[in-house]
Amino acid sequence: MSRTNFLGEFEELILTMVLILDHDAYGNTIVKAIKEHQNREVNLSSVHITMYRLEEKGFLESYMGGATKERGGRKKRYFKITNTGKALVQEMKDARTSLWKLAPQLNFSS
Amino acid sequence: MRTAPPKLATRFLQWFCKHSLLESIQGDLEEQFEEDLTSYGQRKAKRRFVWNVIRFFRPGIVRSFEGTKKLNNYGMYRHYFKIGWRNIFRNKLTSSINILGLSTGVTVCLITLIFYKYEVGFDMRHKQANQTYRVVQHTQMQDQELYWGTTAYPLAAAIKSDFPDVDKVTQAAGPFKRLFTLERANGEPIQFEEEKVVFADESYPEVFDFKWISGDPKSAMDPLNAVILTESVAEKCFGKNYSKTAVIGHLILLNGNDPLMVSGIIEDIPANSNLPFGMLVSYNFFKKHNPYPSENWSGNYGGTTFVVLKDQKREQELESRINDWKKKYLNKEDDQRISYFLQPLKEIHTETLYGSIPGGYQISKSILNTSLFVALFILLIAIVNFINLVTAKASTRAKEVGIRKAIGSRKIGLLKQFMFENSMLVIISLALSIVLSHFLLNEVNEFLSILGMQLYFNVLDASLIILVSFVTIIISVIYPSIVLSSFNPIKALTNRKLTSNGAGVSLRKSLTLFQFTLVQVFVIAAIIIGLQLQFFNNESLGFSSEKVVMVDIPSQNKIDLFKSTLTQNTSIKEVSVGSGPPMTVEDFALGTTYRLPHEESSTGRDAEMKIIDTEYLSFYDINLLAGRNFRENKNQFDEFIVNETFAKSMNWSPEEALNQKIAINEGEATIVGVVEDFHNHSLQNDITPSILMNWNGWRIKSFVKVNNAEALIHLEEVWKELFPKSIYGFSFLDDTMKREYLLEALIFNGFKIFSVLVIFLGCLGLFGLMAFITLQKTKEIGIRKVMGASVTQIVQYFSKEFVILISIAFVIAAPIVLYFMNQWLQTFTYHIDLSIWMFLAGGLIVSIIGSSISIIKSMMAAKANPVNSLKYE
C-alpha cells in the first residue's frame, strides 16, 4: 500500500458511507447516515473537506444534480465511489479480516 | 413564512468559499438549516448555521487569492507584459529605434522646458514678485526715443517721501566692480576684487527675499556701514570653515579705506536673478563717493528703483501720478522729455527694450516661445516616428489579432493589450530620457556657462516630467492601438495582404512628409543663421581689431608712464588709450548731444562720444577723409574729429565739416578731421554720429597690440608694477566684440543642435520604415529578381517614393523658412541677403541623407540572393 493510498479512519468511514448510500451520497445524507449507523455527531464541513480530499485522491467522483425546492433550489454535489475506491475499501476490509484471523481465537466452549 | 438563514453568515460564506464548491456547500448548509428549524427552533438553528459556516472557514474550502475576478485582470496584464516583452526582443531593431527616437525627443523637450522655466522664472521666487515693479524711463529725444531700465538716483527717495501710499520703495546701484581688503581673525590679510557689488538701501531685503544664514533680515541693512555677504564671498573673506555667527560685525575695507561691517550672510543668489550680487553694501557709501550722480535728476547713471504695490490694480494710477508729479524735481526740459513707467518684475528679463545690466543677458519672450515650440516639434517628430513604425508593424500582428478575436477577445481587450504593450516602449524611453536629461543638463550648463546658467532638475519638475510623459503616452499609443485592435478577424486569418495597401499607408506617407518638411525647415534655417553669424564675425568693421588686448587703466595720471614702459619692450609696438574700442562693447558708451553753437540747447541731436589719444586712429587703422589727426594729448579738449555719418547729419561734405564749430553738452570745439565711417555699434545696429575727442577724462582703457606670448607677459608685469593696488585682467578685443553677438550665437548653436537632432530623428524614422518595408517585401523582391529585375531597378522602385516625399517637403519648407528668416534678418541693420542657393543647399543636404538611407536599405534587400527568400515557398 503506497503512501497516497493510505486512508485515515475518518476517510475510510466516509468512503464506506458513500458506498452504502449509493446514489444518494452528498454532504447532509452522509452526516445523517453516520449519526444513524454509528451514533456519531460529525460536522458538515469535515465531511465536505474529506470528500474533496478523497476526490482528489481519485477514490470518489462527484457530479452536480438534483436541484430541489429545499435548500434554496441549489444543486447537490453527489459523490460516487470509483472503482479504485471500491477496490481500496475491499482491500482494507480483507486486510483487516486477515489480521483478525491471526488474533488468538476466543474459545467460548472451553 | 420560511425563515431565511442569517444573511451575514451567508455573505461571509460566499466571500471566502471557492466558487466551484459554493453551490453545493451552501445547499447542504441550507438543507441542514431547514432541518434544524424543525428540530431545534429558529434561534438555535440560526446559531448552528453560523457555527457551521465558521467551521467551513478552513483550508481547502477558502478560496486562494488567485482566480478571483479582480486578480484575473492582473493575470491578463501579466500576459500582456510577457507578450509585449517578447515582442520588444523579437524586433530588436525597431524597438531600439523606437526607444532611441522617443527618448531623444523627450529629452530635448524636458531640457527645453527646464530652460524655459528657468528663463521666465527670473526673480519670480520672491514672495512679492507679482507686486514688484521696476521704474523705467523713456526719454524723448529729437529724432528718437531712448529706453532706460535705470533712473536718476534721487527718484527712489522722492517717491518714498511723496507717495506714502506706495507700499515699499527700494533703490539699488550697480553692479559695480570694487576692491576689498580685510584682516581675518588670525591676522591674515586678504585682498579680493568683487565683480558684483550692489549698493542698496535698507528696504532692499524687505522687497526681495534672501535665504538668510545669519544676521537679522529685518535690520541687517539698517546700519550706515552695513554689508551683506553671499556665502561664496564670505568663504573668500573668512576661509572655508568660518563661524557663521562670529563673523557678524567683522570689518571689511571698501577700496582700502571705508570700513564696512558684516551684518548678514545669505545663500548665493540664484543665477536667474535680474540683479545678481556677491555683496550688498549700504547705499550710503555710494552716496558718499558719488555725490553728483546721486543728487542729479537729469542724468541716468545706473540706479534701479523698485516699488511694491500690494494692490496691482493701482499700477496705472501710480504711473500717471508719478508723471504729473515729476515736474517738482525735474527741470522744465527734462520734464517734457522724460516719462516714467512701471515694469512688472517678471518682464525685466524678457523685455529687451531696456537692455540688460552689464554682464547680464536678456532673452526675448519670442525667442523663448520659439525654443519651446521647436522642442515640442521635436517631440512631435519623435512621436510621429513612433506611430509610423508601430502602425507599420501592425500587419505582422494581424494573425495574432485574428486568432485572439476568434477565440473571444473583445476589441476593448485588444485595445488594452496594445496600449499596454506600446506603453511599455514609451515608459522605457521615458525612463531613459529622464536619466539622459539629468546628465545632459550639466553639459548644457557648461555650454551656456557664459550666461552663468544653472539649470537643474528639482522636485517641482516632476510634475513637468509627468505632464510630458502623459502627453507622449496618450498621443503615441492610442492611434496604433486602435489600428491594431480593429483588424477584421476573418480578413486577418484568410487574407495575408491585409494592411500593406490600407489606409495606414497614406497616413504614414503624410507623417513622413510632415517630418521631412520640418527637417528641411531646420536645416535651411540653421544655414541662414550660421551665415549671418559668420557675417557678423567677418564683416569689415572699418577698423582693425586683430591681436588687440584691452586692459583697464585704474589711474589716469600714470598713462604716459605706462605707455613708455610698455614700448620699451621690442615685442610691443603700438599702445593707445581711450574710453573704449571703436565699437561699443559691454554696453558701455558715452553719449552726448550736439548742435551748432547758435542753436537752442534743446535741439541737440544724439551722438556717441569717444575719448581717444593721438595714437588711436593709426592703432585701429581708421582712415581720415579730410583734415588731420590730433597733434598732442591735452587736458582740455578744443578739437573734435567726427565721423562721416556725423558730417552727413549736418549736410556737410567731409571737407565742409572742417573748421566748423560744434557745441556738445560738455562744451564747444572745432572740427579738425573727418574719419571714414567705422562700426561704432555692433552690426545689429546702425552707425551713429560719433565725436572723437582728445581729453584727459575717461581714458579708462588701454589697447595694446600683442604679437606674441612674451608681449602678453610683459604687459602683465608692467601693469602690476604700475598699479599694485588693482587686480590685473585682460581681454582680447575680438573676443569681447564676439560677445556682442552672444545671443545670435546662442540661437545659432541652438538651431544647429536642434537641426542635427531633427535630422537624426527623421533619419531614424526613415531607416526604421525602410527596414520594415524591405523586410515585408523580401519575397516580392525575390520574385522580381527571378523575373529579371536588376538591383538598380529594385532600388529605384523602393526609394523613388521617399525621394518624391523629400522633394515635396522641400517645396513646403522653403516658403516657411523664407518668411521667418526674412523677418529675423530684418531685425539687423546689417545682414546677409537671402539667396536661392542657401535653400538648395539645405534641401540637398536633407535629400542626400534621406535618400542615401533609403537607397542603402533597399540595396541591401535588392542584393540578397532570391533563393534565400523564396526557398520556403
Render pLDDT for B517-558 as a digit per residue (tens, 0 to 9).
Answer: 888 888 888 888 888 888 887 878 888 888 888 888 887 778
Q: Can you tell me the distance from the alpha carbon of B738 to that of B682, in angstroms, rounded to the nearest whole number? A: 9
Q: Can you tell me the distance from the alpha carbon of B583 to that of B543, in angstroms, rounded to the nearest whole number? A: 9
Least confident segment among B108-112, B197-201, B215-219, B869-873 = B869-873
Q: Which residue in chain B has the smallest CA separation from A75? A: B24
Per CB-CB distance under 8 Å, the chain A contacts of B61 are: 45, 48-49
Cell of B583: 565699437
Please give, rounded to a whole number of angstroms, the shortest distance from the CA of A10 to a CA of chain B: 17
* C-alpha closest to that of B190 among B182, B178, B198, B201: B182
Is the Cβ–Cβ distance between B810 and B521 less than 8 Å? Answer: no
C-alpha triplet B550, B567, B577: angle, nearest 5°: 35
Nearest to B31 among A46, A53, A71 (CB): A71
| pLDDT recorded at residue A108 | 64
Specify burial of residue A50 (Cβ count, 10 A radius: 0-12, 13-18, 19+): buried
* C-alpha closest to that of B104 among B381, B470, B367, B370: B381
What does the buried/exposed string (b/e) look like for B683-695 if buried means 16 or more CB atoms within 10 Å of the residue's CB? Answer: beeebbbbbbbbb
Q: Can you tell me the distance from the alpha carbon of B838 to that of B525, in angstroms, rounded to the nearest whole number? A: 9
> How much of chain B, in percent, has pLDDT values that exceed 90?
2
ipTM of the complex: 0.85
Asked if the C-beta of A41 comes within 8 angstroms of chain B's C-beta atoms, the answer is no
| pLDDT recorded at residue B449 | 66
Q: At what angle do helices B411-447 and B365-394 cross, to 10 degrees?
A: 140
Provide DSSP, B20-65: HHHHHHHHHHHHHHHHHHHHH-HHHHHHHHHHHHHHH-STTTBPPS
Asked if the C-beta of A59 comes within 8 angstroms of chain B's C-beta atoms, the answer is no
DSSP B185: T
Is the Cβ–Cβ distance between B254 and B281 less than 8 Å? Answer: yes
Give just the sign of the alpha carbon dihedral B630, B636, B638, B644.
positive
Q: Can you tell me the distance from the alpha carbon of B706 to that of B700, in angstroms, rounded to the nearest whole number? A: 19
| Highest mean predicted confidence (pLDDT) among A80-84, B354-358, B738-742 | A80-84
* B666-722 residue pLDDT tens: 778 888 899 998 888 888 788 888 888 887 777 788 888 888 888 888 888 888 888
On the question of pLDDT at A2 being above 60, the answer is no
Sequence-ordered list of residues with C-beta below 8 angstroms from that of B66, at least 6 positions apart, any chain:
B75
Band the pLDDT of B815: cuts 50, 70, 90: very high
| pLDDT recorded at residue B781 | 82
Q: At what angle do helices A9-21 and A27-38 cross, to 10 degrees?
A: 100
Q: At what angle do helices A27-38 and B19-40 cross, to 10 degrees?
A: 50
Is the Cβ–Cβ distance between B230 and B217 less than 8 Å? Answer: no
Map residue B261 onto helix, strand or coil: strand
Band the pLDDT of B500: cuts 50, 70, 90: very low
Please give, rounded to a whole number of angstroms, the shortest distance from the CA of B78 to a CA of chain A: 29
Please give, rounded to a whole number of angstroms, the shortest distance from the CA of A74 to a CA of chain B: 5
β-bridge mates for residue A63, sequence order: A78
The answer to whether A27 contacts B28, with C-beta atoms less than 8 Å apart, is: yes
Cell of B495: 487574407
Is the Cβ–Cβ distance between B593 and B604 less than 8 Å? Answer: yes
Per CB-CB distance under 8 Å, the chain B contacts of A72 are: 26-27, 30
Q: Can you tell me the distance from the alpha carbon of B853 to that of B848, in angstroms, rounded to the nearest whole number? A: 8
Q: How many CB atoms lie within 10 A of CB B187?
A: 6
| Mean per-residue pLDDT, B576-591 | 80
Per CB-CB distance under 8 Å, the chain A contacts of B30 are: 70-72, 74
Specify burial of residue B298 (Cβ count, 10 A radius: 0-12, 13-18, 19+): middle
Is the Cβ–Cβ distance between B562 and B718 less than 8 Å? Answer: yes
| pLDDT recorded at residue B451 | 67
Q: Can you tell me the distance from the alpha carbon of B110 to that of B438, in angstroms, rounded to the nearest whole number? A: 10
Strand (E) or helix (H) holding B170:
strand B168-183
Q: Can you tell me the distance from the alpha carbon of B429 to that of B88, in angstroms, rounded to the nearest whole number? A: 13
Per CB-CB distance under 8 Å, the chain B contacts of A70 are: 30-31, 34
B52 half-sphere exposure, CB direction, 13 A CA radius: 29
Asked if the C-beta of B38 comes within 8 angstroms of chain A's C-beta atoms, the answer is no
Band the pLDDT of A3: cuts 50, 70, 90: very low
On the question of pLDDT at A29 being above 50, the answer is yes
Is the Cβ–Cβ distance between B295 and B264 less than 8 Å? Answer: no
**Cis bond before residue B175 (omega within 30° of 0):** yes
| Highest mean predicted confidence (pLDDT) among B82-86, B368-372, B559-563 | B82-86
DSSP B622: P
Per CB-CB distance under 8 Å, the chain B contacts of A31 are: 32
Sequence-ordered list of residues with C-beta below 8 angstroms from that of A103, at least 6 positions apart, any chain:
none
The answer to whether B27 contacts A72, with C-beta atoms less than 8 Å apart, is: yes
β-bridge mates for residue B356, sequence order: none
Assign 3-state DSSP to chain B and report helix, strand, coil percentages, each to 5. 55, 15, 30
Asked if the C-beta of A43 comes within 8 angstroms of chain B's C-beta atoms, the answer is yes
What is the average pLDDT score of chain B? 82
| Mean per-residue pLDDT, B141-155 | 78
Per CB-CB distance under 8 Å, the chain B contacts of A75 are: 23-24, 27
Nearest to A76 among B21, B27, B56 (CB): B27
Please give, rounded to a whole number of angstroms, the shortest distance from the CA of B70 to a CA of chain A: 26
Asked if the C-beta of B21 comes within 8 angstroms of chain A's C-beta atoms, the answer is yes
| pLDDT recorded at residue B460 | 57
The amino acid occupying position B680 is N
Please give, rounded to a whole number of angstroms, the shortest distance from the CA of B69 to a CA of chain A: 23
Per CB-CB distance under 8 Å, the chain B contacts of A26 are: 24, 28
| Mean per-residue pLDDT, B9-27 | 85
The answer to whether B29 contacts A75, with C-beta atoms less than 8 Å apart, is: no
Q: Given phi > 0 = left and psi -120 to 50 = alpha, else beta, which region is A2?
A: beta
The answer to whether B31 contacts A77, with C-beta atoms less than 8 Å apart, is: no
* C-alpha closest to that of B779 among B867, B843, B659: B867
pTM recorded for the entire structure: 0.69
Q: Can you tell me the distance from the alpha carbon of B50 to that of B45, in angstroms, rounded to the nearest whole number? A: 9
On the question of pLDDT at B383 being above 60, the answer is yes
The answer to whether A77 contacts B23, with C-beta atoms less than 8 Å apart, is: yes
Task: For B667-718, give the secondary structure using H, E and C.
Answer: EEEEEEEEECCCCCCCCCCCCCCEEEEECCCCCCEEEEECCCHHHHHHHHHH
Q: Can you tell me the distance from the alpha carbon of B615 to that of B558, in angstroms, rounded to the nearest whole number? A: 17
Is the Cβ–Cβ distance between B850 and B837 less than 8 Å? Answer: no
Q: Which residue in chain B has the smallest CA separation from A67? A: B27
Q: How many CB atoms lie within 10 A of CB B750?
A: 21
Band the pLDDT of B498: cuts 50, 70, 90: very low
The answer to whether A72 contacts B56, with C-beta atoms less than 8 Å apart, is: no
Q: Can you tell me the distance from the alpha carbon of B399 to that of B800, in angstroms, rounded to the nearest whole number? A: 30
| Mean per-residue pLDDT, B248-273 | 86
| pLDDT recorded at residue B740 | 79
Residue B344: phi, psi to the nearest 5?
-60, 145
Map residue B152 onto helix, strand or coil: coil
Distances (CA, A) of B561 to B148, B481, B552, B620: 38, 81, 15, 22
Per CB-CB distance under 8 Å, the chain A contacts of B56 are: 44-45, 48
| Mean per-residue pLDDT, B184-201 | 85
On the question of pLDDT at B220 being above 60, the answer is yes
Is the Cβ–Cβ distance between B379 and B108 less than 8 Å? Answer: yes
Question: Which residue do the cell numbers 522636485 mark?
Answer: B459
Please give, rounded to a whole number of angstroms, the shortest distance from the CA of B408 to a CA of chain A: 27
Q: At what angle do helices B461-485 and B92-120 cross, to 10 degrees?
A: 150
Please give, rounded to a whole number of angstroms, the shortest distance from the CA of A70 to a CA of chain B: 6
| pLDDT recorded at residue B296 | 77
Question: Which residue do the cell numbers 537632432 mark?
Answer: B757
* B608-651 residue pLDDT tens: 888 888 888 888 888 888 888 888 777 777 888 999 888 888 88
* B742-763 residue pLDDT tens: 777 877 788 778 878 888 888 8
What is the average pLDDT score of chain A? 83
| Mean per-residue pLDDT, B376-393 | 82
The number of C-beta contacts closer than 8 angstroms across A and B is 64
Q: Can you tell me the distance from the alpha carbon of B758 to that of B375, in angstroms, rounded to the nearest whole number? A: 10
* B276-322 residue pLDDT tens: 888 999 888 888 877 777 787 876 777 888 999 887 778 888 888 88
Least confident segment among A82-86, B26-30, B46-50, B356-360 = B356-360
Provide DSSP, B589-602: -EEEEEE-TTS-GG
Sequence-ordered list of residues with C-beta below 8 angstroms from that of B327, at least 6 positions apart, any chain:
B335
Per CB-CB distance under 8 Å, the chain B contacts of A45 are: 52, 55-56, 58, 61
Q: Can you tell me the distance from the alpha carbon of B275 to that of B257, in angstroms, rounded to the nearest whole number? A: 26
| pLDDT recorded at residue B718 | 86
* B645-676 residue pLDDT tens: 888 888 888 888 888 888 887 778 888 899 99
The amino acid occupying position A72 is G
Is the Cβ–Cβ distance between B849 and B759 less than 8 Å? Answer: yes
Q: Which residue in chain B has the smallest CA separation from A51? A: B60
Q: How many CB atoms lie within 10 A of CB B120?
A: 18
Asked if the C-beta of A35 comes within 8 angstroms of chain B's C-beta atoms, the answer is no
Nearest to B29 among A44, A49, A77 (CB): A44
* C-alpha closest to that of B826 among B623, B649, B688, B684: B684
The answer to whether A72 contacts B26, with C-beta atoms less than 8 Å apart, is: yes
